[in-house]
Amino acid sequence: MDADVIVVGAGLAGLVATAELVEAGRRVVLVDQESAEHLGGQAWWSFGGIFLVDSPEQRRMGIHDSLDLAWQDWSGSAGFDRLEGPHAEDEWGSRWARAYVEWAAGEKRAWLHGKGIRFFPVVGWAERGDGTATGHGNSVPRFHITWGTGPGVVAPFEAVCRAAESEGRLTVLGRHKVTGLVTTDGAVSGVRGDRLAADGAGRAVASTRSVVGEFELSAGAVVVTSGGVGANLDLIREYWPDRLGAPPEDLVVGVPAFVDGSMLPISEAAGARVVNRDRMWHYTEGIANHSPVWPAHGIRILPGPSSLWLDADGHRLPAPCYPGFDTLGTLAHLRATGHDHSWFVLTQKVIEKEFALSGSEQNPDLTGKSVKQVLGRVRKGAPGPVQRFLDDGEDFVSAGTVPELVAAMNALVGQDRIDPARLQGMLEARDRELANPFGKDAQLAAIRAARAYRGDKLIRTAPPHAFLDPDNGPLIAVRLRTLTRKTLGGIQTDLDSRALDSDGSPVPGLYAAGEVAGFGGGGVHGYNSLEGTFLGGCLFSGRAAGRAAAGS
């Protein structure tokens, strides 16, 4: 055999599984279709959010969290409803969910801390939910930003792998695209595929698919950690669920081109079962990157709660479709309007306090671990990366008055869809609600409630203020489109990350982890994510796969 175990995919789940394997003394071959120089996959580009429960960071911020509350939120968000019958699609995803939440409330932080991973002291409140205690969303802030963002999460696992490579215990084969799994006597015993031409492309830049040869490798087991389908727009549209309306024609892409879902049919051909294909996670706050790295490169705005959200015709979105509350609920509402874009309307004061951008490259202060630069976020003015989008982003317009703003909005889309008088009246009505520290506008009530949390008041939620007051301006509008991101379904696995067949039996020699496995079990999130759970899902399922494969 060429190795004890072959790992297919050098993203975070693959690196974690590989690190577990080499630390257990196994000989490993790690193959990836991209360059061996650029390990970490999609995770390297992430903001580095990690879901933790009852952490020291939460307690220091005055947050009272618990396993029971976290499980209430997770199960209410997941909505597992495919539990009936033999080998139900949610059978293993629901088990993974309970195990993951227990890990997040227990060993997870200490395990990461032991690997040198640290967290920004202010815990973020992502995905605030649908407004019900038992429904979707986080009851409390749980989004822990890694000091170093995505590269900071990747680094300790890459370091283990690089050390093992230098010692001859690990072989890393970049530009090797797997096209098939080899089986021997009913067991997966290796991989075959194409050797791709080297082209010197930078990290995540779309690289050539030119084939210069073939390869075949043998091992005692194969671990598939190849990611989801977020850059494969054809697959996204094929499996787009009716409950979200018709798929958009105009999408921006939140992941590199190599996130193509190619290992799903290959794993199926070897006997693995793929479940919950219709569950996916796409953001409604996507904007075009002014400096794209991959095709149709989009960035997600991580919004505070204050921006007024309008559909393409200028109608205000209803509760709970507020910024940062209910991603898929808002997506379903917007798809019902029949248009592919919507708008944030806000002020300079809001953008300075509330706008953050997804991605390690959009947060150089956190990625570079610069305390001085991070402290600069509290100074007057928008953060540098946000200001760059204000200056150069194709989706941003600003003006001193509502008629001027609406003229720019309509010019951007090439249609007179927004009525300036209606928007003027909407903003006047909103601003009148500020005369008292209470009122009937549910979004303003949510803003006031958010500022009861110390972290939001410090750095994430602007004080309620009149949008039409020139002292708070200029007025800003941002065109938003759907941004592709995550696959919530995938290869069904048991709690040892063993791939299961249609009868619920393990496929001998085959394991799966990370997004290709729906982050565990074929769908650990159910229908909705609580955020900070994608990197965590790669960590948890990659660790399980590595340990189980090492023991096999």
pLDDT digits (tens, 9 = 90+) for 105-147: 999 999 999 999 999 999 999 999 999 999 999 999 999 999 9
DSSP per-residue string spanning 98-116:
HHHHHHHTTTHHHHHHHTT
430/500 same-domain check: no
pLDDT tens-place string over residues 24-48: 999 999 999 999 999 999 999 999 9
Amino acid (one-letter) located at 497:
S
547: domain CATH number is 3.50.50.60
pLDDT tens-place string over residues 428-441: 999 999 999 999 99
pLDDT tens-place string over residues 388-407: 999 999 999 999 999 999 99
Domain span at 410:
284-483
Q: Where are the alpha helices (DSSP H) in 360-474?
A: 364-367, 371-375, 384-392, 402-413, 420-432, 442-450, 454-455
Residues 6+ apart with CB under 8 A from 185: none
pLDDT at 539: 98
The pLDDT of residue 536 is above 80:
yes
Q: Bridge-partner residues for 191, per DSSP?
A: 181, 217
176/202 same-domain check: yes
- Has residue 119 been placed in a domain? yes
**Beta 3-8 vs 475-487: how paired, if at all?**
unpaired
The encoded tokens of residue 330 equal 């808002």
- Has residue 38 been placed in a domain? yes
The pLDDT of residue 268 is above 90:
yes
- Has residue 165 been placed in a domain? yes
The pLDDT of residue 376 is above 90:
no
- Read off the pLDDT band of 378 (50, 70, 90): confident
Output the pTM of the full model.
0.97
- Has residue 261 been placed in a domain? no
- Of 431, 449, 483, the residue that ends a domain is 483
DSSP per-residue string spanning 29-49:
EEE-SS-TT-TBGGGGGS--E
- Has residue 378 been placed in a domain? yes
201/310 same-domain check: no
The encoded tokens of residue 519 equal 């982050």
Is the peptide bond between 303 and the residue preceding it cis, with omega within 30 degrees of 0?
no
309/435 same-domain check: yes
What secondary structure, in 3-state letters, does 183-245 show?
A: EECCEEEEEEEEEECCCCCCCCCCCCCCEEEEEEEEEEEEEECCCCCCCCHHHHHHHCCHHHC
Q: Bridge-partner residues for 190, per DSSP?
A: 182, 218
DSSP, res 284: E
Please count the residues of the chain.
552
DSSP, res 406: H
DSSP, res 88: -
372/391 same-domain check: yes
73/199 same-domain check: yes
516/441 same-domain check: no
Distance CA(509)–CA(552), nearest Å, equals: 8
542/446 same-domain check: no
The count of domains in the chain is 2
98/9 same-domain check: yes
